[in-house]
Structure 1
């Protein structure tokens, strides 16, 4: 479990939290981030390329789960929209507003929780999700919903994050008020088998990105919505100075490193 500053807290598998409150806070944070998401989310966009390389040649009904401002959804529509239907679903209304403005109404945009999909049984043959399900407190419920809405033989291609993600940030902020607690590959395998996926493949890799200074690091994280804070938490100038000093010790020729421990799941119903 890796520590993070209060304004970049993530909770991945936390039954101790109030899920309704957590969903509201996540939706609010990502809605606020929506206007500047794309300019700051280049690491997330780079990781989305891992999913695009694995897409099947043909799909009829496609869901982008946690679609954000919709660029990946638009690429799915470009590939599959001529002969099928593409849905972009997100918890944050602000993200969906940005998606509609950017990509129009040809895509079916839905505001909903990944653990309670407003979709019929066996209605889709492909679900794609890039860096969204780590925000969901109940992994079993999310994967169960995917088995419900996928047709027999349908596939889910998912990027999510594992322990060790943002480890450098946690090292820099040595006494944060919040904790990062991502689920590992074994947890995802167990959950996927447990809800009935007949084929489960989980690939792991480390994606590392570099930034010029601490401000750029924090903007890249906060700017994509990762800013769900514990109430009342504040950072002093001394806190920032100490974090800067610790992070500078990690600097390479390329800049300050930020690591994402990426899990890519290929699941077949």
Structure 2
């Protein structure tokens, strides 16, 4: 994101980008599914009210509904197109909400489990998000979160030599500061780097466009020559498995304590 864009404009851009890609999201979200799996083993055995923040097309919301069949399930996303796609695939009773993670439409102390896979990096107001998690979680309630750290998509930035055109990610210290300011207790924190491989630059670009990641890029016109030069740079990074794309993941478990 750029410093000049207003929060309202940024939210509109994120919502529009994800709405445009909603019908293709599940087919291209290989990295997002793999990263979400990092949260699954640490989830509690029971939950009464579960909220999926940044639910997208509802892949994880539906899995949470199967894991907690007696819980009230909520999915929240900023992109109306994503929620429309989620409703198409709904097989169980899930309440979908259009909204912002920094202004959750839930009563205080009403949620006992928050699941959020790769949504936090799209939020300008990290402290606002953390305060809202604290407000809406019940005592002893937990938030299980994945987000991305600087260094994510580094190969793409190197190929295009335009690191400013990709999403600007908050450093770990900023995230920890937001957690500390909210009153939430940090139960656990881990970092993982996951790498995915693609056949060519077109496949790489399709993978990030298919999950809305192009929203952080600038509006400069890209010529055929630009694409050819970027492809040549990327080829220098090729490994036997293909062209690498790295995701630096932060995995958090937060708890609301008295």
The TM-score bracket by the shorter chain reads: over 0.9
Please give the alpha-carbon distance, in whole angstroms, between the structure 2 residues aligned to 1:126 and 1:171.
38
Instruction: Mark the runs of 5 or more structure 1 residues left unpaired by the alignment.
Output: 1-10
Corresponding residue for residue 8 of structure 1: none
Tell me: CA distance 1:231–1:268, structure 2 relative to 1, closer, same or farther (3 Å).
closer
Q: C-alpha displacement at 1:186, in angstroms?
A: 2.4
Please give the alpha-carbon distance, in whole angstroms, between the structure 2 residues aligned to 1:85 and 1:181.
35
**Larger RCO (CA under 8 A, 6+ residues apart):** 1
Please give the alpha-carbon distance, in whole angstroms, between the structure 2 residues aligned to 1:151 and 1:32.
35
Q: Is residue 132 of structure 1 aligned with residue 119 of structure 2?
A: yes
Higher deviation after alignment, 231-240 or 211-220 = 231-240
Tell me: CA distance 1:43–1:175, structure 2 relative to 1, closer, same or farther (3 Å).
closer
> Contact (CA 8 Å) 1:193, 1:200: kept in 2 or not?
no
Q: What root-mean-square deviation, in Å, do the aligned CA atoms of Structure 1 and Structure 2 show? A: 1.5
Corresponding residue for residue 144 of structure 1: 131
Higher deviation after alignment, 86-95 or 191-200 = 191-200
TM-score normalized by structure 2? 0.95
Corresponding residue for residue 202 of structure 2: 215
Correspondence for 2:73 among 86, 89, 95: 86
Please give the alpha-carbon distance, in whole angstroms, between the structure 1 residues aligned to 2:148 and 2:163.
20
Q: Is residue 254 of structure 1 aligned with residue 241 of structure 2?
A: yes
Corresponding residue for residue 6 of structure 1: none
Tell me: CA distance 1:153–1:21, structure 2 relative to 1, closer, same or farther (3 Å).
same
Corresponding residue for residue 221 of structure 2: 234
| 1:59-118 Cα shifts (integer Å, max 9, x gaps) | 1000000000001000000011x3210100000000000000011461000000111111
Corresponding residue for residue 173 of structure 2: 186
Please give the alpha-carbon distance, in whole angstroms, between the structure 1 residues aligned to 2:130 and 2:25.
26
Aligned residues: 256
Please give the alpha-carbon distance, in whole angstroms, between the structure 2 residues aligned to 1:154 and 1:163.
29
Structure 1's consecutive aligned runs of 4 or more residues displaced over 6 angstroms after TM superposition are none
> Contact (CA 8 Å) 1:33, 1:225: kept in 2 or not?
yes
> Contact (CA 8 Å) 1:65, 1:114: kept in 2 or not?
yes
Instruction: Mark the runs of 5 or more structure 2 residues left unpaired by the alignment.
Output: none
Please give the alpha-carbon distance, in whole angstroms, between the structure 1 residues aligned to 2:223 and 2:194.
31
Correspondence for 2:39 among 51, 58, 81: 51
Correspondence for 1:74 among 62, 85, 91: 62
Please give the alpha-carbon distance, in whole angstroms, between the structure 2 residues aligned to 1:144 and 1:151.
13
Please give the alpha-carbon distance, in whole angstroms, between the structure 1 residues aligned to 2:34 and 2:137.
27
Q: C-alpha displacement at 1:233, in angstroms?
A: 2.3
TM-score normalized by structure 1? 0.91
